[in-house]
């Protein structure tokens, strides 16, 4: 059943063409050592059994970290949208932008500077 779900999901997505992915037999595991792993840092290996069924993936640690960062970003976005208060704030912000209720950064900075100057002047009196 898990395989069926993966196939259905894969059929609805645009295929990814990545020239750095190599499909190899599981027997290639015996050939791997530190030197060969360093040489293959830019390559992602998909190990398959004799029926060409993918069993495992080997990728560089750098690529792994990139995937983890992207996953964390997606999870943070999902968390943001799962809280009603946060979602209302985002929707209000989008509505403000759509309806032109925005100010430039320079305008906001000038207004804050002006407010700070008035506050400092009032405290000095």
pLDDT tens readout for residues 37-56: 888 888 999 999 999 999 99
Residue 75 lies in a domain: no
The range of the structural domain enclosing residue 36 comes to 2-64
SS (H, E, C) 40-102: CCCCEEEEECCCCCEEEEECCHHHHHHHHHHHHHHHHHHHHHHCHHHHHHHHHHHHHHHCCCC
Residue 44 lies in a domain: yes
What does the mean pLDDT of the chain come to? 85
Whether 45 and 87 share a structural domain: no
Prediction pTM value: 0.55
pLDDT of residue 95: 94
Looking at the 3D structure of the chain, how many domains does it have?
2
pLDDT value at 7 more than 80: no
pLDDT of residue 74: 93
């Amino acid at each position: 059943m898990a395989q069926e779900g993966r196939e259905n999901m894969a059929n609805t997505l645009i295929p990814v063409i990545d020239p750095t992915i190599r499909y190899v037999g599981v027997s290639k595991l015996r050939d791997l050592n530190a030197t060969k792993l360093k040489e293959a840092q830019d390559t992602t290996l998909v190990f398959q059994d004799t029926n060409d069924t993918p069993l495992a993936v080997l990728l560089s640690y750098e690529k792994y970290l990139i995937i983890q960062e992207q996953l964390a970003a997606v999870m943070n976005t999902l968390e943001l949208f799962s809280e009603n208060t946060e979602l209302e704030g985002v929707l209000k912000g989008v509505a403000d932008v759509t309806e032109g209720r925005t100010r430039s950064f320079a305008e906001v900075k000038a207004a804050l500077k002006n407010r700070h100057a008035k506050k400092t002047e009032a405290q000095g009196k």
